[in-house]
């Protein structure tokens, strides 16, 4: 047992004395969570729009005011003619234009119906869709106010409630994803390098010619990274709760237990890579290429898995972070308990057992 | 203590024959040297004896334990110092030593008497990281780490490669003292001049043992008298020597060329000097010398 602790201590020395490793270990996660949390969101804020108001009456002015007041839009300028619209689009000054026809208010009063033209720059289709939706909502709001004044025979209202994330904040979607990404990347990368480094430096030769149990080498390599990953996780969690205003509805204990499971899965995958390669470079490349892209693509926080073709959906099942993402969303945002996520947990447990088994199998007690 | 019987090792599925039918015995408490150039198969032999590689053929044992089946026991009993410096460069001298002591279930205090003489030399640098030590110090530290568990057999793979002359001499003095403590030492080196420091040596080339004996006996067995020649034009001299009928072999060796005659007649020496003078060599000097291990090696290689 004393041997084991000495070995773990040695591993900690390795980590703390290598500035690059330390930076990667703690800098990378913080940078990523900030990037995804603030910079790379799919929320649209302060989109530039312009308005052509042929009506220039009370109704059109009121709607324009509402548009200008909303967070999503920033009124760039009001034009006199719709001919200028295309020029503005081509210059890239605006993303959306709203045109009010002449007699807008009187049409509304006399015919109980009027039209507004909404023109969006659909070169980015997702953005165009979101923007037109925002306009629709604002116009509907206005209509609602008018309806209360006049008397219509009947009307159907769809009352929409956005559960768990009423403000449709992007962070809610990204943070659990980034957590999964960071944990998987850091753990796999760090551990995959660690055993290979002993091979490259020749220290593995001495370790093997000693009474130390080779399996303990593997386990003691994983311990420091496990501890450091938990610290990492705590940092990410604090950042996302206090800086990104993420909700945390569920049990903290369950969250840590499930995260530990993912960390162990990632560590054993890293050890597997480490045991199967001979140079730090190969190990690093394998860990980065083999983990980064699948984790980004198949976790579900960037691209919805439901929209993928069947083969890709099947592949996504072997990506551990996909299951973790489901688990974390359930705990953090929905506040669900273990009974809701036991299936996903079981999948992760199975994966971990498999990785560990194979990496123990692949560990060589000799050089060749 | 250490025995090898017809040990063979091939790499790349038999394409490269690194060790070919090697057999020798190292007695208890002996300082045995494996002498040969790079690529002779020394490291492969060491790795098989330290249970790191499995031989393709033959049987080998250390302390009576088979290197394949008894690997767990052997790993507890032997000390191994690989050819490449293999300690943790980012750990200090002290940390390295403590780490390896714990790894072998012992403490530095327990076996301090064994390493004391070596350790005092590096003790002033005990808080320095191993990667920042000089070549000689690194080897001393590595030797301390290999000795810390009081091994019965010590395997040192090219411990003096890349070490300056003074440190090399110190290192060999240490090995002698360790031998006096009853530790069996198997050491390999590409430096022929170190061969005479061993009790017995095996000359190895191309994976094959050419000769095993004490250095003195190997020197004695040199088949014919050996002469050293010098002149003012050394590079031309070697070519001219090789053209002479009475010369059997000649090769460059430091500031002299070494040569042997086909027939050992006293008049041959004079006739050779005369011939060389006719070829325009001046300041000619020739003397009979005692062969070195290197001469023996070259002679054995040409067979």
For residue A284, the distance in angstroms to the closest alpha carbon of chain B comes to: 20
Q: Where are the domains of chain A?
A: 2-40+169-362, 47-149
- Measured between beta carbons, the chain B residues lying within 8 angstroms of A207 are 103
Q: pTM for the whole thing?
A: 0.78
My answer on whether B149 and B106 are in the same domain is: yes
Nearest C-alpha in A relative to B47: A367
- Measured between beta carbons, the chain B residues lying within 8 angstroms of A195 are none
Give the per-residue pLDDT at A274: 87
CATH of the domain at B293: 3.30.70
My answer on whether B22 and B160 are in the same domain is: yes
Tell how strand B16-26 and strand B31-35 pair up: unpaired
pLDDT in tens, A114-135: 888 888 888 878 788 888 888 8
Query: Cβ–Cβ of A211/B75 closer than 8 Å?
Result: yes
Of the listed ranges A218-222, A253-257, B202-206, the one predicted with least confidence: A218-222
Identify the domain boundary among B183, B218, B253.
Answer: B218
Measure CA B242 to chain center. Answer: 30
- When scoring B47, B103, B108 by the number of chain A Cβ atoms within 10 A, the one with the most, hence best to mutate, is B103
Whether residue B32 contacts residue B199, with contact meaning beta carbons closer than 8 Å, is answered with yes
pLDDT in tens, B110-129: 999 989 988 999 999 999 99
For residue B242, the distance in angstroms to the closest alpha carbon of chain A comes to: 45
- Measured between beta carbons, the chain A residues lying within 8 angstroms of B105 are 3, 211
My answer on whether B180 and B232 are in the same domain is: no
Residue B80 forms beta bridges with which residues?
B155
My answer on whether B232 and B213 are in the same domain is: no
My answer on whether B143 and B26 are in the same domain is: yes
My answer on whether B274 and B174 are in the same domain is: no
My answer on whether B79 and B201 are in the same domain is: yes
My answer on whether B35 and B141 are in the same domain is: yes
Structural domain for B276, as ranges = 226-301
* DSSP letter for each residue of B13-39: TTTEEEEEEEEEEE-TT-EEEEE--TT
Query: Cβ–Cβ of B80/A206 closer than 8 Å?
Result: yes
Distance between CA B41 and CA A59 in Å, rounded?
95
pLDDT in tens, B172-189: 999 999 999 999 999 999
What stretch of H or E contains B114? helix B112-122
My answer on whether B24 and B136 are in the same domain is: yes
My answer on whether B202 and B289 are in the same domain is: no
Give the per-residue pLDDT at A169: 65
Query: Cβ–Cβ of B95/A13 closer than 8 Å?
Result: yes
Total domain count for chain B? 2
- When scoring B14, B49, B52, B130 by the number of chain A Cβ atoms within 10 A, the one with the most, hence best to mutate, is B52
My answer on whether B213 and B261 are in the same domain is: no
What's chain A's average pLDDT?
84
Nearest C-alpha in A relative to B79: A209
Nearest Cα neighbor of A258 from A321, A189, A181 is A321
Of the listed ranges A168-182, A351-365, B86-100, B126-140, the one predicted with least confidence: A168-182
My answer on whether B29 and B111 are in the same domain is: yes
Identify the domain boundary among B184, B218, B252.
Answer: B218
Domain spanning A47-149, CATH class = alpha beta
Query: Cβ–Cβ of A209/B98 closer than 8 Å?
Result: no
- pLDDT level of residue B245 (50, 70, 90 thresholds): confident
Q: What's the per-residue H, E or C state across chain A?
A: CHHHHHHHHHHHHHHHHCHHHHHHHHHHHHHHHHHHHHHCCCCCCCEEEEEEECCCCHHHHHHHHHHHHCCCEEEEEEECCCHHHHHHHHHCCCCEEEEECCCHHHHHHHHCCCCCEEEECCCCHHHHHHHHHHHHHHHHHHHHHHHHHCCCCCCCCCCCCCCCCCCCCHHHHHHHHHHHHHHHHHHHHHHHHHHHHHHHHCHHHHHHCCCCCHHHHHHHHHHHHHHHHHHHHHHHHHHHHHCCCCCCCCCHHHHHHHHHHHHHHHHHHHHHHHHHCCCHHHHHHHHHHHHHHHHHHHCCCCCCHHHCCHHHHHHHCCCHHHHHHHHHHHHHHHCCCHHHHHHHHHHHHHHHHHHHHHHHHHCCCCCC
Identify the domain boundary among B151, B185, B218.
Answer: B218
CA B247, B253, B254: angle at the middle one, nearest 5? 145
Query: Cβ–Cβ of B52/A205 closer than 8 Å?
Result: yes
Of the listed ranges A9-18, A251-260, A293-302, B214-223, the one predicted with least confidence: A293-302
- pLDDT surpassing 70 at residue B62: yes
- When scoring A8, A15, A201, A206 by the number of chain B Cβ atoms within 10 A, the one with the most, hence best to mutate, is A206
- Measured between beta carbons, the chain A residues lying within 8 angstroms of B95 are 10, 13
């Amino acid at each position: 047992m004393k041997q084991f602790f000495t070995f773990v201590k040695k591993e900690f020395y390795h980590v703390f004395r290598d500035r690059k490793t330390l930076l990667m270990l703690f800098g990378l996660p913080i940078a990523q969570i900030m990037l995804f949390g603030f910079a790379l969101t799919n929320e649209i804020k302060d989109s530039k729009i312009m308005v052509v108001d042929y009506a220039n009456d009370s109704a059109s002015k009121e709607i324009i005011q509402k548009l200008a007041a909303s967070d999503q839009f920033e009124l760039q300028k009001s034009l006199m003619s719709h001919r200028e619209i295309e020029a503005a689009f081509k210059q890239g000054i605006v993303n959306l234009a709203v045109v009010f026809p002449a007699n807008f208010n009187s049409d509304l009063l006399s015919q109980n119906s009027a039209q507004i033209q909404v023109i969006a720059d659909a070169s980015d289709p997702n953005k165009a869709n979101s923007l037109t939706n925002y306009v629709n909502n604002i116009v509907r709001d206005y209509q609602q106010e008018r309806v209360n004044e006049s008397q219509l025979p009947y009307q159907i209202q769809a009352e929409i409630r956005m559960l768990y994330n009423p403000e449709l904040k992007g962070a809610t979607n990204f943070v659990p994803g980034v957590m999964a990404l960071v944990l998987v990347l850091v753990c796999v990368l760090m551990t995959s390098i660690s055993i290979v480094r002993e091979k490259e430096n020749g220290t593995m030769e001495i370790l093997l010619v000693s009474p130390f149990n080779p399996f303990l080498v593997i386990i003691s390599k994983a311990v420091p990274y496990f501890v450091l990953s938990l610290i990492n996780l705590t940092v990410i969690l604090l950042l996302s709760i206090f800086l990104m205003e993420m909700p945390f509805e569920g049990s903290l204990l369950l969250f840590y237990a499930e995260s530990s499971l993912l960390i162990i899965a990632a560590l054993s995958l890293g050890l597997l890579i480490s045991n199967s390669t001979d140079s730090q470079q190969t190990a690093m490349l394998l860990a980065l290429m083999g983990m980064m892209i699948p984790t980004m693509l198949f976790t579900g926080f960037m691209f919805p898995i439901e929209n993928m073709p069947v083969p890709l959906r099947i592949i996504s099942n072997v990506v551990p972070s996909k299951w973790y993402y489901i688990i974390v969303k359930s705990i953090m945002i929905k506040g669900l308990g273990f009974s809701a996520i036991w299936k996903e947990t079981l999948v992760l447990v199975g994966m971990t057992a498999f990785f560990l088994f194979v990496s123990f199998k692949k560990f060589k007690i000799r050089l060749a | 203590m250490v025995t090898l019987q017809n040990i063979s090792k091939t790499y790349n599925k038999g394409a490269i024959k690194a060790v070919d039918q090697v057999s020798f015995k190292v007695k208890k408490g002996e300082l045995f040297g494996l002498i040969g150039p790079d690529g002779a198969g020394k490291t492969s032999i060491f790795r098989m004896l330290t249970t790191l590689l499995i031989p393709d053929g033959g049987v080998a044992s250390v302390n009576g334990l088979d290197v394949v089946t008894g690997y767990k026991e052997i790993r507890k009993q032997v000390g191994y110092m690989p050819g490449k410096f293999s300690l943790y460069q980012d750990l200090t001298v002290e940390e390295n030593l403590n780490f390896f002591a714990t790894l072998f279930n012992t403490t530095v205090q327990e076996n301090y008497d064994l390493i004391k003489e070596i350790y005092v030399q590096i003790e002033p640098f005990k808080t320095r990281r191993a990667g920042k030590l000089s070549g000689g110090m690194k080897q001393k530290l590595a030797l301390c780490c290999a000795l810390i568990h009081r091994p019965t057999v010590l395997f040192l793979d090219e411990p003096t490669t890349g070490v300056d002359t003074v440190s090399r001499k110190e290192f060999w003095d240490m090995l002698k003292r360790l031998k006096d403590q009853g530790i069996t030492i198997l050491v390999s080196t590409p430096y022929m001049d170190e061969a005479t420091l061993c009790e017995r040596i095996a000359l190895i080339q191309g994976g094959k043992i050419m000769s095993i004996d004490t250095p003195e006996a190997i020197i004695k067995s040199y088949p014919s008298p050996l002469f050293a020649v010098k002149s003012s034009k050394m590079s031309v001299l070697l070519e001219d020597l090789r053209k002479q009928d009475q010369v059997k072999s000649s090769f460059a060796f430091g500031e002299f060329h070494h040569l042997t005659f086909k027939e050992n007649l006293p008049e041959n020496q004079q006739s050779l000097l005369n011939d060389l003078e006719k070829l325009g060599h001046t300041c000619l000097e020739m003397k009979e010398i005692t062969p070195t291990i290197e001469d023996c090696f070259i002679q054995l290689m040409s067979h």
